[in-house]
Amino acid sequence: MITRRGFVSGATVGMASLGLVPGMAFARTAGNRRFVFIIQRGAADGLHIVAPVGDPAYVSARGALAKDFADAPRLDSMFALHPALERIGGLFKQGDALFVHAIASPYRDRSHFDGQNVLESGGVAAYRIKTGWLNRILPLLPADEARAIAVSETVPLTLRGSVQVASYAPSRLPGASADLLDRVSALYAHDPQLDAVWSKALGTRAMAGDLSRANVQDAAQMGALAAKLLVGDKAARIAMIETEGWDTHSAQSGRLRTQLKRLDAMVGGLRDGLGEAWADTVVLVATEFGRTVAINGTGGTDHGTASLAMLLGGAVRGGKVRADWPGLGQGALYQGRDLKPTAGLDALITGAMAEHFGLDPVRVKQQLFPELSAATPMQSLIRT
Amino acid sequence: MSDAVIAANRFGLGARADDPPITAPRRWLISQFDQFQPRPAAIAELPDSSTIATETAQYYAQIRQLQRAARQGGQSVDDSASTKSEAMAIRKMMRQQARAHYIPAVGARAQSALTTPAPFVERLVHFWANHFAVSVDKPGVVGWAGYFEFEAIRPHVLGNFRDMLFAVEQHAAMLFYLDQVVSIGPDSAVGRLVARRGRRKLGINENLGREAMELHTLGVRTGYSQADVTEFARALTGWTVAGIAQGPAARLAGVRDGKPGSFIFAGRLHEPGARTIMGKRYDQSGEQQAVSVFDDLIRNSATAHHIAFKLARHFAGDTPPPTLVARLEKAFVRSNGDLPTLYSALVEAPEAWVAKPLKFKTPWEWTISALRGLGAQNVPAKAVFGLQKQLGQPVWNPGSPAGYDDIAASWMGPDAIMRRVEAASRLAAQTRGSLDARTLAPKLIGVATGSDTERWIGRAASPDQALALMLISPEFMRR
């Protein structure tokens, strides 16, 4: 059941958007462009979503996991799409889905929380930047377009910042809210004993929590809800949806199938709900880091480095997989275990945002990823 | 932690929002000896163990009757579907009856803890009930566990250790739990008779003898041997429960009559002869033999040390200071086990007043302190039962006669903490914004100005969230 909860009306705009920052480049398009970020918390295994079945090392490297792609639809000579992603596969065929592989944020360690912090803040290391890149894009948009909403009880870091952002979520199952859990983390930060135990508790929860409640229908409803919040004159232009449960240390084959079905249903719900607005929409799907190439002793994979990102939407120049493929051979792996990153999420996000909203890529990069040295934004991502 | 916060939380069960400030912490604790209610209203209004004893006797009688009827037809109860289902129905009713005693007793325990004028003494009740633990994972104990605490522990918590010990060892719950009721001297009158008839082989059961030495008095590895345990078990034969077993064997043993559920010494079950335990010969006859053994166990220095260590650990840290243990040991020995003397020595010991928290709360301690802190006056028994189960410490169900662990390592698991956070969230939500954690936290747990906890409570998204954060703050999790 979806009930109204805590709708904070948005659109109170911070100093930057009042034109007090000189040289501000405003978006050129009239406000019909929409952007949705679906975060995959827990480190989604990109190699098991878009699999490099054409890589000669693939079958030996992935072992039993390769079986899931035996009859998977091929995307090109190298890659195949996980069979659970039926809707997304359909979007790919229509040219509405672009996959970018071997991609990572600048984060190179393997902590979920630090990794998510980097992904969301846009910093080069965890906890250096206190706001999120999706909030920092808002001042670059025309003031009356700078409306964003978190489709969750509270606003995730990606959307936090000087511009006030709304949040709206379906009612929760009984239990502590994600926000309370965040605050407990802060509360225990200086208590080494409790902090250590709590980190473990959160890790376990991320792994088991969403899967145990796995419900494809819920995911479709969540997508439909997000669409509803994005359609209409005064509706938000930017939205964020959080997904959990990607931390597949064990029994990955079945668990990831469930996760991907949910993601597929969520995208389907969003696509259907947006209707004509889909043509002006870009959906980014990304995770904090990838997983080990090798399968572990419990049929799962462990924390890795590069993974997969998706751009979905009628505005996307899709129908292809972009990858400077590093290969899965032993010598090609990052630290001998992970898919090596050959593309940056920052370059993808900068390029997508600049093209989608008609902004100067240099300005976007400065605003979203101020700490990164000049990575070239990716190009030709969006239909303009 | 200030002395007042220590008195309320480490010694007591947690401050209540409506408590007057504690101005003289040590005096406040000692004065509770005069205010403790051994049988508060919540407990007085419940039945007692004689009720469940009568019900249990009826249950056995019904089962017997069914068996007899089946035998007359040349069958056993399990041979026919109708008698089998009848037997099942009787057993099911007994289980339901047992639960109907257990759950309200859990509620009464919580109720006493919430509203007691003597939270320090109430904590000591919980301490001793766990020292002399029975566990409802044994089906026959379910209905009795609460009455065990109310009848054997509470009346003696401010008395002498000896009185409590005998009340415990002679309570039906303990005699059932540690299998004393099935322990029969092979050379006793009943033992010889049964052997002559060539029926079942009967014999002694060492369970109570062993645990009485290892857990209740001396402590593990304190110099007694397996032979001592067996000899003690022989001395204990005949210690049993009256008025429950109804058959010919019960009549033979002389335990059929008497007030149901009360202790009885059945001489016809007692192994005759002198016993030798830890080098000392006991040639008393009958009940007095085991009583003499217990008296020597109580006087053994290992017992004083064992009790002193556990009490010190409960208040002064998982690895208690040896100086405190020594202090308490001395008080125990000098007063011949006078418990208020022992508690006074604890209250006067500087080791128990260290300002930093010394203990991580068990789930029970956390629940009670949270409910007290939120001002709960009464809580449904089922809610307490359910909450304790969820938090991993169901009441009177430690699963072992050793009781629940009293160290942080046993309670500070990731899942346990997550469950506390969820429980805190639910408890806080029930206050519906009526309490302000910002004023409550300094009062209840002495949250300091400028501390992390004060800051995070202040920044909470709602009054309820602030309360939840207070309840799971490091200050609230420890005492």
Question: What pTM does this model have?
Answer: 0.64
Judged against a pLDDT cut of 80, whether residue B424 lies above it is answered with: yes
Locate the chain B residue with the closest alpha carbon to A200.
Answer: B414
pLDDT tens digits along B331-359: 999 999 999 999 999 999 999 999 999 99
Chain A: which residues have CB within 8 Å of chain B?
154, 174-177, 179-181, 183-184, 186-191, 193-194, 197-198, 200-201, 203-205
Higher pLDDT, A17 or B273: B273
Chain B: which residues have CB within 8 Å of chain A?
412-415, 417-418, 421-422, 424-426, 452-453, 456, 459-461, 465, 468-469, 472-474, 477
pLDDT at B76: 83
pLDDT tens digits along A223-266: 998 998 898 877 899 999 988 778 887 789 988 998 899 999 99
pLDDT at B78: 82
Identify which of B414, B425, B460 has the shortest CB distance to residue A176: B425
Residues of chain A above pLDDT 90, percent: 59
Listed as ranges, residues in chain A with pLDDT below 50 are 1-30, 171-174, 207-214
Write the burial class of residue B13 (CB in 10 Å: 0-12 exposed, 13-18 middle, 19+ buried).
Answer: buried
pLDDT at B365: 98
Q: Show residues of chain B in contact with A6, CB under 8 Å.
A: none
- The DSSP letter of residue A143 is G
Q: Show residues of chain B in contact with A177, CB under 8 Å.
A: 425
Query: Average pLDDT of chain B?
Result: 93
pLDDT at A145: 84
- CB pair distance less than 8 Å for B452 and A179: no
Q: Per the structure block, which two tokens stand in for B28? A: 């406040």
pLDDT at A204: 65
**pLDDT tier for residue B173 given thresholds of 50, 70 and 90:** very high
Higher pLDDT, A220 or B304: B304
Q: CA A315 to CA A33: how far, in whole Å?
A: 9
Query: Average pLDDT of chain A?
Result: 85
CB neighbours of residue B321 within 10 Å: 17
DSSP letters, B57-84, are HHHHHHHHHHHHHHHHTT--GGGSHHHH
Please say whether the beta carbons of B134 and B145 come within 8 A: yes
Identify which of A174, A189, A201 has the shortest CB distance to residue B426: A174
Q: Where are the beta strands (DSSP E) in A116-248?
A: 148-150, 166-167, 238-243
Q: CA B279 to CA B267: how far, in whole Å?
A: 25
pLDDT at A384: 77
- CB pair distance less than 8 Å for A197 and B421: no
Closest Cα of chain B to A71: distance in Å?
40
Fold of A29-368: Alkaline Phosphatase, subunit A (3.40.720)
The number of helices, as runs of H, and strands, as runs of E, in chain B is 24, 4
| Backbone torsion region of residue A7, taken as left when φ is above 0, otherwise alpha when ψ lies between -120 and 50, otherwise beta | beta
Q: Would you say how long chain A is, in residues?
A: 384
A49, A132, A42: which is closest to A309 by C-alpha? A49
Q: Show residues of chain A in contact with B418, CB under 8 Å.
A: 176, 201, 204-205
β-pair partners for A310: A99, A285
Any idea which of A367-371, B80-84, B290-294 has the lowest mean pLDDT?
B80-84
Q: CA A332 to CA A55: how far, in whole Å?
A: 12
Identify which of A154, A180, A189 has the shortest CB distance to residue B468: A180
Q: Where are the domains of chain A?
A: 29-368
pLDDT at A52: 98
Write the ipTM: 0.88
Please say whether the beta carbons of A94 and A105 come within 8 A: no
At position B234, the amino acid (one-letter code) is: R
Higher pLDDT, B84 or B262: B262
Identify which of B414, B421, B477 has the shortest CB distance to residue A180: B421
Q: Show residues of chain B in contact with A186, CB under 8 Å.
A: 452, 456
Identify which of B413, B468, B469 has the shortest CB distance to residue A197: B413
Higher pLDDT, A323 or B248: A323
